[in-house]
Chains A and B, each alone.
Chain A
Amino acid sequence: MTYLAGEMMTGGYGGADILHECSIGVDRGEIAVVVGPNGAGKSTAMKAVFGMLGLRTGRVTLDGEDITSLKPQERVLQGMGFVPQNQNVFTTMTVEENLEMGAFIRRDDISLTMKQVYALFPVLHEKRRQPAGELSGGQRQQVAVGRALMTQPQVLMLDEPTAGVSPIVMDELFDRIIEVAKTGIAVLMVEQNARQALEIADRGFVLVQGRNAYTDSGVALLANPEVRKAFLGG
């Protein structure tokens, strides 16, 4: 039983269906990566799993329970965290305020979690009094991930966390994400940098036009000649 699973999801934004019986999922302590060409529906699949999209058919389960009808806020309460692809920080608020807002639903002491986030991303501690809008792309992504970690989620969903950052910063971010997964959190992420992402992935999903094209372990997908040829540039 996969910890978080979107099963046979079909749906879209009100018009034509974007997703067609699409399934993605991840287990605790694992990293699952969703790759595919632009417009394949990767972000849409993530939104569907997070309840930001009405599904016509299919369901989403968390730890065996059907959560298909829960609103996004209710999924946050169930231990899910989401870093959207765009506009994923509060630009006018300081780094520290971003983290505080991430922990908004918590009523207990958040200082320990904040320390952990700062330990994971030391540069954020340095810049904690700066508005997030003034940070570099890589630092912003760290704020975005840090914000989602503040609820102490069981599942962390990331939509292209390395978009627009340099290769060095990308490696750095991947290392941090591996660290997060090692603490037992399930990490489900969409990545443009398919090769690097599949290298750290326990599972990989290749989506094409809203359908599952290939599903396998990261290593197997990397070794699959068809996948290599079509999606990894040979």
Chain B
Amino acid sequence: MTDVLNAIVLLGNFVLVPGLAYGSQLALGALGVTLIYGILRFSNLAHGETMSFGAMITILVTWLLQANGISFHPLPTALLALPFGIIGAVALCLIVDRLVYRYYRQQRSTSSIYLIVSIGVMLITGGLIRFIIGPGDRKITDGERFIIKARDFKEMTGLNEGLAIKTTQGVTVITAVSVVAFVFWFLGRTRTGKAMRAYSDNEDLALLSGINPERVVMIAWIMTGALATIAGTLYGLDKSFKPFTYMQLLLPIFAAAIVGGVGNPIGAIVGGFVVAFSELIITFAYRKVFMYLLPDEMAPEGMIQLLSTDYKFAVSFVILVIVLLVKPTGIFSGKLL
């Protein structure tokens, strides 16, 4: 019986808890991608860099706060700096829209043109970020490191295996839940949110109803900038901040958005968790789990790991390929915003 509990705790510690945190980060990222797709109708490849930019501003302000002896103990100081990061990323989105995307809107460009344009925006933003903060790895977490420490958990329960929950993981999940709840309330209940759904559903009819498209686009960018910063900062807190990783994150984020059905917010969230858990389940080494569950003489030799963690991005890629082959419209197809 204890063996079974140990196996469960082991999975909880290495799959469930990290999966919930990583899934939340992907879900928030995918929500931003889906929002832009739903309103501006293109795949925004610059989204990873928007996340990075927002996180960078947050870090800069965090350093400033720390230098002045301001902290948010026991929570990470970065949470105090987050609003500044959001303002920075929103400003970036609005400026880029004004300077770049608006022109292509007026030209009534096709979505493939937008896609290529967004690659340009991605590269320039990426360069800007490296110019400001450098390409290196930054640890930004301070405050209390754990909500539950593995050792305390072992002492409390008497089990061999410990369940650790990092503060950043707790913060990630709670923030993600609140942000998602807010987004759904906004889209479902407010006049402006409904106007955005109407615009996403039927642009021409929205115009006939007197909905101002430029305003809808502006609000979409504001929400995207905010979502990107929150996702990027939470990811940076949980792992570390390194500009390059945000470009890599594009793949799982797009996989998440597409699995759920691009343009569909619920799909983005479900997709985020599908991708996160697939990655963790496929790259986890099950050796110890089997050692707990099987009799000693049947103990496995190898690591029982389907795929090395080095290949975790392959998982997103495979998911993406399978979805595009089997159900290109995603799980929740046909429903926009």
A residues whose Cβ falls under 8 Å from a Cβ of B: 72-73, 76-77, 82, 84, 87-93, 97, 100-102, 104-105, 147, 151
The answer to whether B181 has its CB under 8 Å from any CB of chain A is: no
Given contacts A90-B202, A92-B336, A93-B197, 5 further A-B contacts (CB under 8 A): A76-B208, A84-B204, A97-B198, A104-B195, A104-B210
Contacts of B337 in A (CB 8 A): 92
A84-B204, A105-B209, A105-B210 known; A93-B194 Cβ under 8 A: yes
Instruction: Provide the bound-state CA to CA distance between A77 and B211, in Å.
Output: 12
Contacts of A147 in B (CB 8 A): 209
In B312-337, the 8 Å CB interface with A consists of 335-337
Contacts of A151 in B (CB 8 A): 210
Instruction: Provide the bound-state CA to CA distance between A97 and B337, in Å.
Output: 14
Q: CB distance A73 to B205 under 8 Å?
A: no
Q: CB distance A91 to B201 under 8 Å?
A: yes
Q: CB distance A101 to B207 under 8 Å?
A: no
Q: CB distance B208 to A84 under 8 Å?
A: yes
Q: CB distance A104 to B209 under 8 Å?
A: yes
Q: How far is the CB of A30 from chain B (nearest CB, A)?
A: 23
Closest 9 CB pairs of A and B: A105-B210, A90-B201, A101-B198, A104-B209, A76-B210, A92-B201, A101-B209, A104-B210, A73-B210
Closest to A131 in B: B335
The answer to whether B206 has its CB under 8 Å from any CB of chain A is: yes
Q: How far is the CB of A74 from chain B (nearest CB, A)?
A: 9
A76-B208, A91-B202, A104-B209 known; A97-B194 Cβ under 8 A: yes
Q: CB distance B211 to A101 under 8 Å?
A: yes
Q: CB distance A101 to B336 under 8 Å?
A: no
Give per-residue flags for B205-247: 1 if the beta carbon is below 8 A from chain A beta carbons, else 0. Answer: 1111111100000000000000000000000000000000000
Instruction: Provide the bound-state CA to CA distance between A78 and B311, in Å.
Output: 61
A92-B335, A93-B197 known; A87-B202 Cβ under 8 A: yes
Chain B interface residue number, banded: 10 to 19
Contacts of A105 in B (CB 8 A): 209-210
In B165-206, the 8 Å CB interface with A consists of 191, 194-195, 197-198, 201-202, 204-206
Q: CB distance A72 to B209 under 8 Å?
A: no
Instruction: Provide the bound-state CA to CA distance between A84 and B207, in Å.
Output: 12
Instruction: Provide the bound-state CA to CA distance between A91 and B205, in Å.
Output: 11
Instruction: Provide the bound-state CA to CA distance between A223 and B211, in Å.
Output: 44
Q: CB distance B204 to A87 under 8 Å?
A: yes
Q: CB distance A92 to B209 under 8 Å?
A: no
Q: CB distance B197 to A82 under 8 Å?
A: no
> Which of B194, B195, B197, B207 has a CB less than 8 Å from the CB of A72?
B207
Contacts of A97 in B (CB 8 A): 194, 197-198
Q: CB distance B205 to A90 under 8 Å?
A: yes
Instruction: Provide the bound-state CA to CA distance between A90 and B337, in Å.
Output: 12
A92-B336, A104-B210, A104-B211 known; A87-B205 Cβ under 8 A: yes
Instruction: Provide the bound-state CA to CA distance between A84 and B204, in Å.
Output: 10
Q: CB distance A88 to B209 under 8 Å?
A: no
Contacts of B205 in A (CB 8 A): 84, 87-90
> Which of A77, A91, A92, A101 has a CB less than 8 Å from the CB of B206?
A101
Instruction: Provide the bound-state CA to CA distance between A90 and B206, in Å.
Output: 9
Q: How far is the CB of A151 from chain B (nearest CB, A)?
A: 8
Closest to A71 in B: B207
Instruction: Provide the bound-state CA to CA distance between A72 and B208, in Å.
Output: 6
18 A-B residue pairs with Cβ-Cβ distance under 8 Å, sorted by A, are A72-B208, A73-B207, A76-B210, A84-B204, A84-B205, A84-B208, A88-B205, A90-B198, A90-B202, A93-B197, A93-B198, A100-B191, A101-B195, A101-B211, A102-B209, A104-B191, A104-B211, A105-B210
